Structure 1
C-alpha cells in the first residue's frame, strides 16, 4: 500500500512573548510555583532549568554552584535568545558574588539581562526609598552573617535579624505559611522602613499582603523582588495585586 503525503506550508506567528529563563535550585520547592503564580497571565514565557545544590547550607556548598551556572544557563532554550535570566538563590548569589553570577550566565547568553534576588532587592529598596530593614531568613548563622554583611556594604542598615536556623534547603519550603505569618508579624519592625524576608525556597509570597496589613510596613521577599525585577526588565510595569506593595504599585 502506498500513500501520497501532502505538504502544507506552515504559517508562523509574527509576534512572540519575551522569553524569561529561571535558574532554580534542585532543592527548591517554591520558586517555580511563585513565578507561575504571579506571571501566569502576564505577556511572557518562562523556561526553567535547575542547578545542583548540596546540603547542608554552607558558604562552601553554595560556592559550588558557580561551576555549573554557565552550562545550566546554556541549556535554557539552547541557541535561542533569552531576554532575561533570573538566578534563584539569595545566599548563593552572595557566596559566589553578584558580578560573578552575572558573568557566568552572560558567557552562555551574552545578550540577556541577568537578575538575582539581591540585585532585585537593592533595586526595590531604592525604588521604595528603603534605607533601614528588619531581616528574616531560614538560614544558619554562618550564612546569616553573609546576608548581614552584604546589606551593610550596600548602605542598607539592618536594625533587627531573625532566623529559623535551618541547615537543609529542602526543609525551608516545608515551613508552614500560617506559622510564618504568625512569626513575621511579631518581629521588631517599629523603626525599620520595611521587612525583608530572604530565601527563594521560603513560602511567603502569598502572605506578604497580610504581613503588610498587620505590620503597616512594606514586606519584601526574595521571590517577590526577583519577579518584580524580571517583569520590569521585559517592559511590564502594570500593577500585580495580591503579593505586596512592591508588585501592587
Structure 2
C-alpha cells in the first residue's frame, strides 16, 4: 500500500534534559531488589534512574565481591555514555566493604567525574551523622564472614556496635525472597536495648518500603541500605520530601565530596 512520507517542518524545541535530575545505578547481575525499590522511592520526583548491571554469580563471599573491583569503571562508563550524571550509586553493600569504599568511589568516579558517588554504607553513615546517632545494632542477610566487615566499617568510622545479627544466607536471590513480615520479626530481635538505631545492611533485602512499619514496631530509627541511598540522592538533588521514615525528616549536613562520614565529626558530645 502506497502512502505519502513528509519530513516535519515545524521547529523542534529541545529541553536541556529529558528529566531534571539524572542518577545512575551500578547493580549486580543477580540483584533482584535495589533497582525496583529505588525506582519506587524515586517515583513522583523529577528524577530518572539509569541502570547498568555487572557480571556476578553466587555465592556471596568476600572473594567473589572483591573480584568486582576491576570492572567497576567500565560498568559506570556504560550508563549514558558521554552524559553527565548528578549522582552515581554503587548498589552493593557488602561489595562496597569487600572492595573498599575508597576504591569503589575512585573507580566509578573515573567514569563519571562530575557525579556525586553514593554507596550504601556511605549513605547510611551520612544518615547516622545527620541524625546524630552514636550507637547502633546491625542486621544483615549474609553469613558471618561477609557481615563482620560491614559492622567493622561502621565501628571504624566511630559508631558503637551493640549487636550484629546475621541471617546467614550466601545467595542474594534467597535474600531477596525473605518475606517482609520476616524482616520485621528479625528487626525486633536484632535491636539491642542500648542502640539508638537499627541498620538493615544489604541492598538485596526488601526493607526500604517497610521502614516506617519497622520503626513503629521497634521504636527507633531504622536505616536500610536502599532507604538511605534514596534519602541521600533526593537530598543531593534538592528534594525536601519528608515521607518514608524518620531519616526523611533530616537534611544532609553537607554535600559529600566522597561518602565517608565520621560519627564524631558531626555528633558532638554535648548533643549540639
Q: The TM-score by the shorter chain falls in which range?
A: over 0.9
State the distance in 2 between where 1:198 and 1:115 align: 15
Paired residues of 1:20 and 1:85 also in contact (CA < 8 A): yes
- Residue 183 of structure 1 deviates from its aligned partner by 2.2
**Alignment partner, residue 233 of structure 2:** 230
After TM superposition, the structure 1 stretch with the greater mean CA deviation from structure 2, 43-52 or 190-199, is: 43-52
State the distance in 1 between where 2:136 and 2:3 align: 74
SS across alignment from 2:186: helix
Correspondences of 1:31-110 after superposition (within 5 Å): 31-110=34-113
Runs of 4+ in structure 1 deviating by more than 4 angstroms, as ranges, are: 1-4
- Residue 89 of structure 1 deviates from its aligned partner by 0.7
- Residue 3 of structure 1 deviates from its aligned partner by 5.4
Name the CA shift for 1:212/1:2 in 2 (closer, same or farther; >3 Å).
Answer: closer
**Alignment partner, residue 148 of structure 1:** 151
**Alignment partner, residue 245 of structure 2:** 244
Answering whether residue 12 of structure 2 is matched by residue 25 of structure 1, we say no
TM-score, normalised by the number of residues in structure 1: 0.94
**Alignment partner, residue 215 of structure 1:** 218
- Residue 2 of structure 1 deviates from its aligned partner by 9.4
- Residue 35 of structure 1 deviates from its aligned partner by 0.8
State the distance in 2 between where 1:114 and 1:25 align: 17
TM-score, normalised by the number of residues in structure 2: 0.86
State the distance in 2 between where 1:36 and 1:17 align: 16
Name the CA shift for 1:35/1:2 in 2 (closer, same or farther; >3 Å).
Answer: closer
Aligned residues: 247
Correspondences of 1:92-131 after superposition (within 5 Å): 92-131=95-134
State the distance in 1 between where 2:249 and 2:45 align: 14
Residues 138-195 of structure 1 show CA distances to partners (whole Å, capped at 9, x for unaligned) of 1111111211221111011110111110011121101111111122123333110100
**Alignment partner, residue 258 of structure 2:** none
SS across alignment from 2:64: helix
CA RMSD between the two structures = 1.6
Paired residues of 1:54 and 1:62 also in contact (CA < 8 A): no
Instruction: Give the gaps of 5 or more residues in structure 1.
Output: none
SS across alignment from 2:32: coil
After TM superposition, the structure 1 stretch with the greater mean CA deviation from structure 2, 15-24 or 41-50, is: 15-24
SS across alignment from 1:138: strand
State the distance in 1 between where 2:226 and 2:136 align: 17
**Alignment partner, residue 15 of structure 2:** 13
SS across alignment from 1:38: helix
State the distance in 2 between where 1:122 and 1:4 align: 58
Paired residues of 2:27 and 2:34 also in contact (CA < 8 A): yes
Paired residues of 1:224 and 1:247 also in contact (CA < 8 A): no
SS across alignment from 2:67: helix
SS across alignment from 1:183: helix
- Residue 206 of structure 1 deviates from its aligned partner by 2.1
- Residue 216 of structure 1 deviates from its aligned partner by 1.1
